[in-house]
Structure 1
Amino acid sequence: MGLTSSLCISADANLTSALDLTTASAPVTVRAATAWQSGTGAGKADKAFSDRRTLAASATEDLDLAGVLLDAFGATITFARIKGLYIRADAANTNNVVIGGAASNAWSTLLGATGTITLRPGGALGLTTGSADATAYAVTAGTGDLLKVANSGAGTPVSYDIVIIGASA
C-alpha cells in the first residue's frame, strides 16, 4: 500500500496605516509546506492516521502511536517517526483541547515529557518536518509513544480533528 502526503502551514497578514495622501501597507505571506512520497527515509512517509474524535467532559485519552491506532482500512499503525501532525479543536467546543503531558510513556520528542499545548475552540496546531529530515520526531514503542489529548473542563464534551503522518522505520 502506497502513501503520498503533504502538510502546509501558512500565514498572511497585511498591516496598514492611513497617511496624508495614501495608505501604507506591510504585507507578509509565509508558507511552510512539506510533501512526502511513499517510504521510510528522508522525504518519505508510509503511515497516516486521521480521525474526528470526541472527549466527554473532563475526559482524557492517550493515543498510542505504536501499535494501537488503525488506519482508514483497519490496519494497525506502528509509527517509528512522526513527520506531520495536524490537530484542530472544533469551533463549537466550550472547553479547550489540551495536547501532551501523558502520565507515563509520553511521546516526548515534541513537547518533552510534561509539556502541553492548549487549543482554544477553533484553534489548530500544525507541525511538519522538512522533506530532507529522515529523523523527524521519534516514537519509542512501549516507553515513548503516548500522545495525550484532554478536555480541559467539566460540563461539556469537546471534539477535535487529528491527522498524523509518519513512517514505520
Structure 2
Amino acid sequence: MTLQTKVIVSMNALLTGVQDLASAEVPLSLRQALVLADGAGAGMADRIFHDRRTIAASGSDSLDLAGGLSDPLGVSLSFARLKVLLVRAAAANVNQVLVGGAASNAFAAPFGDATDKIKIPPGGTLLLAAGQADATGYAVTASTADLLLIGNGGAGSSVTYDIVLIGASA
C-alpha cells in the first residue's frame, strides 16, 4: 500500500478603488503546493485518516492519533508525526467546532499549549501543513501527546465536521 499526496492552496483577491484622478487595482495571487511521496522522511507521508463525524451538543471527540484510528481500508494506524491536519466545519452547523484542548495526553504540537483551542465557525476550514522539507511535521507521542480533541462549541445542537489527517508512521 502506498500513499501519494498533493495539497494545493490557491488564493486570488482583487482590491479596487477610485482615487481623485485615477482608478486603482491591487491584485493578489498566491499559490502553495505541498507534494508528499510515500514514506516517513522529509517530503513524505505514509498514513492517512479521513472521516465525516458528528458531535452531540456540548460533546467532543477524542481522536487517538497513536493507535486509535483506522485508515480508509480498515487497517489500524498510528501516526508518529502529522504532516497535514484539515478540519472543515459543516456550513449548516449552528455552533463552532473546537480543535485542541484535550485535558490529558493532548496532541499539542501545533498549539502553544495543551489547553489551546482553535475555533472554526460554521462553514470554516482549518488547514495546518508542514513544509515540504520538514521531516518532523507535528510530532505525536504515544501515550503522552497523542489525543486530538475536537469539540462542539455550544449547547442545543450537534455539529458535523470533516477531518483529514496525513502523516508518517516513523
TM-score between both structures, scaled by the size of structure 2: 0.95
Identical-residue share of aligned pairs (%): 53
Instruction: Write the letter of the residue equivalent to 2:29.
Output: T
1:19 aligned residue: 19
Tell me how far apart the structure 2 counterparts of residues 23 and 75 of structure 1 sit (CA, whole Å): 58
1:140 aligned residue: 141
2:8 aligned residue: 8
Q: How many Å apart are 1:18 and its aligned residue?
A: 1.9
Q: How many Å apart are 1:11 and its aligned residue?
A: 2.5
TM-score between both structures, scaled by the size of structure 1: 0.96
Q: How many residues align?
A: 169
Instruction: Write the letter of the residue equivalent to 1:113.
Output: A
1:95 aligned residue: 95
Tell me how far apart the structure 2 counterparts of residues 102 and 125 of structure 1 sit (CA, whole Å): 18
Q: Is the CA contact (8 Å cut-off) linking 1:70 and 1:76 kept in structure 2?
A: yes
Instruction: Write the letter of the residue equivalent to 1:155.
Output: G
Is 1:150 the counterpart of 2:151? The answer is: yes
Q: Structure 1: give runs of 5+ residues left out of the alignment.
A: none
Instruction: Write the letter of the residue equivalent to 1:14.
Output: L
Is 1:38 the counterpart of 2:38? The answer is: yes
Is 1:106 the counterpart of 2:72? The answer is: no
Tell me how far apart the structure 2 counterparts of residues 6 and 138 of structure 1 sit (CA, whole Å): 20
2:109 match: secondary structure: helix
Q: How many Å apart are 1:8 and its aligned residue?
A: 2.3
Instruction: Write the letter of the residue equivalent to 1:91.
Output: A
Q: How many Å apart are 1:21 and its aligned residue?
A: 6.0
Tell me how far apart the structure 1 counterparts of residues 8 and 66 of structure 2 sit (CA, whole Å): 25
Q: How many Å apart are 1:157 and its aligned residue?
A: 0.5
Tell me how far apart the structure 2 counterparts of residues 106 and 12 of structure 1 sit (CA, whole Å): 36
Answer with 14-23 or 43-52: which moved more: 14-23
2:110 match: secondary structure: helix
What does 1:52-91 correspond to in 2, within 5 Å? 52-91=52-91
Tell me how far apart the structure 2 counterparts of residues 126 and 18 of structure 1 sit (CA, whole Å): 35
Q: Structure 2: give runs of 5+ residues left out of the alignment.
A: none
Tell me how far apart the structure 2 counterparts of residues 85 and 7 of structure 1 sit (CA, whole Å): 11
CA root-mean-square deviation: 1.1
Tell me how far apart the structure 1 counterparts of residues 142 and 34 of structure 2 sit (CA, whole Å): 26
Q: Which runs of 4+ in 1 moved over 6 A?
A: none
